[in-house]
Structure 1
Amino acid sequence: MNILITGASGFIGSFIVEEALRRGFDTWAAVRKSSSRAYLQDPRIHFIELDFNSKDKLVEQLRGHDFDYVVHAAGVTKCLHPNDFFRVNYEGTRNLVEAILELHMPVRRFIYMSSLSIFGAIREQQPYHSITEHDTPRPNTAYGRSKLMAEKFLDSVGNEFNYIVLRPTGVYGPREKDYYLMAKSIKQHVDFAVGFKRQDITFVYVKDVVQAVFLALDHGMSGRKYFLSDGEVYQSSTFSNELRQAMGRPWWIRIKAPIAVLRLVTWCGEYYGRLTGHITALNNDKYNILRQRNWRCDIEPACDELGFHPQYQLHRGVKLTVKWYQENNWL
């Protein structure tokens, strides 16, 4: 079987490539000319350069290829300008699907990597309840809105296109760079916490996301959308506590600040990014993500229909992640 994996040089994409090779797929990694191939060293990988900005270019680049499966993991989570989210996450997805359809490529299933963020701050009244597939999305970030637009486009394509959408919550693991900043701060003896209202958070280890991807290739109904988490709910301080534990419990100072301070910090980060042209992790989108209080989600449909069973609870996943950071000189 041939499989095309977009975003192959990225955090999640590179793990999908590794698993595809392990399972014996004829594996094609879609990359840009500027993409790092640091995690794509296996000589069995076939590379293909794709330009998601143009459907016509994609048609030419894909012509002559017949992929059995496509996993569309390409996308952006941070941008200098909000329009870039829609250009990459929505228009890039639309261009790819339209190119596949124009070529009459016999794709058995198309997997789209979306996000829990498409729902925004809903079910925020305590006691918090899990977000379900029946809730109405109200994305409060440009990232979430762009992912939701891509989902709606897939819904409009029609029955001739076999697709499944995966909606992971916060994904962490080796090679991930945003949660790494928290680990780096703890190593420097400082931990930051924001807000005083209870916050329920969910996580999913990258290899559990990969498990769901390969289950979705042949399980579940076309058009279905599945939440992914490790099945547990954590408090806002749990992740940093686990990081500190895995790092040998260095001394630290935990600074807890009100939401207003976060608003100021992320505004400054947004301004600095636009001034310098450097994308920062602390921006307007990040403000809305960090102030959201309820990240519970219902993974029962994924368990029942895909056979998804998370293997990495937070304690185990964080321990493996910190070990990788240390072995690769990130910490």
Structure 2
Amino acid sequence: MKILITGANGFVGSHLCEKLLKDGHDVFALVRSPHKFTVAENSRLTVIKGDLDQEILSWVESLPADLETCIHTAGIVHTYSPSEFYRVNAGGTENLVKNLKQRFINLHFILISSLAASGPSLGTSSRSELDMDFPVSVYGRSKKKAEELLAMNAPTSWQLSVIKPPMVIGPRDPAVLDIFKMVQGGVILLPGQNSKTKLYSFVCVFDLVETIVLVAVQKKKGIFFSANPQVVSFEQLISEIKKQLKKNWILYLPLPLILVRLLAMVLNFFYRLFPHNLRLTPDKYHELAATNWTCDGSKSEKELGQVYNYDLERTITMTLIDYKSRKWI
């Protein structure tokens, strides 16, 4: 197949490029900065410099006329500007769809969304694809808006798919690195008194890539959660990282949610004066306050034949090996 991948320089996008090239597909990788592109050269790889910021995307004209699939992974997960979430995640999707439909009558468009677009689970059950969405953060609402704009602007001749992963863990991921560093430092800040027991679904990046490839190859329409059947508490996640790092002790420091919210507001204020990379934002607070971020990935197993090969232990092991090789840990 001939496949366009947006966000090809990103965490998921780069792994996806490598998998598709290995499987023999022709990949057209959209990147902002070609010099930062880390995927090895390949005769089936075409790197396209461009972005999704303009209403007219001139780079679309360089795509082959027989392009079959677009996998849209581009987006942002962290910013101190709520409007930036909508501009990039929602606006970028709208620009992409409007430009592609001018050239391609038939296309399989796969949007990589997020569990955040659905929101946390209510009660103790895990979310399914049939549940009503109720995002609690601006990030989640921007991803939900992207889903809506795709459905609104895509021609009826297109096939549309949406894949919603929960927490994604794996090599090259800068987000979960923060948790590894906390464990390495020996002090775990807990947002709320019950943080240890908060429940999370996760997926290894290699399993997520497998879900995406299965949807693309089988040309499956619809919404799919990509999630390992194993649900973990925050304490179990920390314990596994602690074991892998061979840490003898960990100090848990619970912080009342009101204090976490105040700290997020203070960091937001200082960011305007002294930009920093801390990920605790007023928007992130709403995600941290939720107690159940779980989803049911069984639809992907039944309809796609997905096999989740990477449990938490194996995922953390591979991720730590990668972090150490990069001297991030």
Normalised by the length of structure 2, the TM-score is 0.93
Partner Cα distance (2:268, 2:27) in 1:
38
CA contact (8 A) 2:105 2:155 kept: no
CA contact (8 A) 1:189 1:250 kept: no
Give the CA deviation at 1:265: 2.3
Alignment of 1:88 with 2:88, yes or no, is: yes
The corresponding residue for 1:242 is 240
Q: Which aligned pairs between 1:267-286 and structure 2 lie closer than 5 A?
A: 267-286=265-284
Amino acid at match of 1:3: I
User: 2:291 is paired with a residue of what secondary structure?
Assistant: coil
CA contact (8 A) 2:5 2:73 kept: yes
The corresponding residue for 2:328 is 330
CA contact (8 A) 2:120 2:294 kept: no
Q: Which aligned pairs between 1:117-266 and structure 2 lie closer than 5 A?
A: 117-123=116-122, 125=123, 128-156=124-152, 157-197=154-194, 198-219=197-218, 221-222=220-221, 224-266=222-264
Give the CA deviation at 1:263: 1.3
Give the CA deviation at 1:259: 1.6
Give the CA deviation at 1:330: 0.8
The corresponding residue for 2:50 is 50
The corresponding residue for 1:76 is 76
Greater mean deviation of Cα atoms: 246-255 or 172-181: 246-255
Amino acid at match of 1:215: L
Greater mean deviation of Cα atoms: 198-207 or 42-51: 42-51
Question: CA-to-partner distance for each residue in 1:5-28, whole Å, 9 max, x for gaps?
Answer: 111111111100110111111222
The root-mean-square deviation of aligned C-alpha atoms, in Å, is 1.8
Give the CA deviation at 1:324: 1.0
User: 1:237 is paired with a residue of what secondary structure?
Assistant: helix
The corresponding residue for 1:319 is 317
The corresponding residue for 1:299 is 297
- Which ranges in structure 1 are unaligned for 5 or more consecutive residues? none
Partner Cα distance (1:141, 1:34) in 2:
32
Give the CA deviation at 1:211: 0.3
User: 2:88 is paired with a residue of what secondary structure?
Assistant: helix
Partner Cα distance (1:132, 1:72) in 2:
22
Partner Cα distance (2:316, 2:248) in 1:
16
Question: CA-to-partner distance for each residue in 1:89-121, whole Å, 9 max, x for gaps?
Answer: 1111111111111112543x2111000001224
Alpha carbons of 1:239 and 1:9: their partners in 2 closer, same or farther (altered >3 Å)?
same
User: 2:29 is paired with a residue of what secondary structure?
Assistant: strand
Give the CA deviation at 1:176: 0.8
Partner Cα distance (1:254, 1:122) in 2:
25
- Which ranges in structure 2 are unaligned for 5 or more consecutive residues? none
User: 2:47 is paired with a residue of what secondary structure?
Assistant: strand
User: 1:53 is paired with a residue of what secondary structure?
Assistant: coil
Partner Cα distance (1:75, 1:184) in 2:
25
CA contact (8 A) 2:119 2:293 kept: no
Question: CA-to-partner distance for each residue in 1:211-237, whole Å, 9 max, x for gaps?
Answer: 001000133642x11111111111121
Question: CA-to-partner distance for each residue in 1:227-282, whole Å, 9 max, x for gaps?
Answer: 11111111121111111111112433222222222212222222222333445311
Question: CA-to-partner distance for each residue in 1:142-179, whole Å, 9 max, x for gaps?
Answer: 11111101111222234211121000000011111121
CA contact (8 A) 2:101 2:155 kept: no
CA contact (8 A) 2:240 2:313 kept: yes
Normalised by the length of structure 1, the TM-score is 0.92
CA contact (8 A) 1:90 1:149 kept: yes
Partner Cα distance (2:200, 2:320) in 1:
20
Amino acid at match of 1:80: Y
Amino acid at match of 2:250: W
CA contact (8 A) 1:29 1:48 kept: yes
Give the CA deviation at 1:298: 1.7
Identity of aligned residues (%): 29
User: 1:47 is paired with a residue of what secondary structure?
Assistant: strand
CA contact (8 A) 1:78 1:279 kept: no
Give the CA deviation at 1:138: 1.5
Give the CA deviation at 1:286: 1.5
Amino acid at match of 2:17: V
User: 1:102 is paired with a residue of what secondary structure?
Assistant: coil
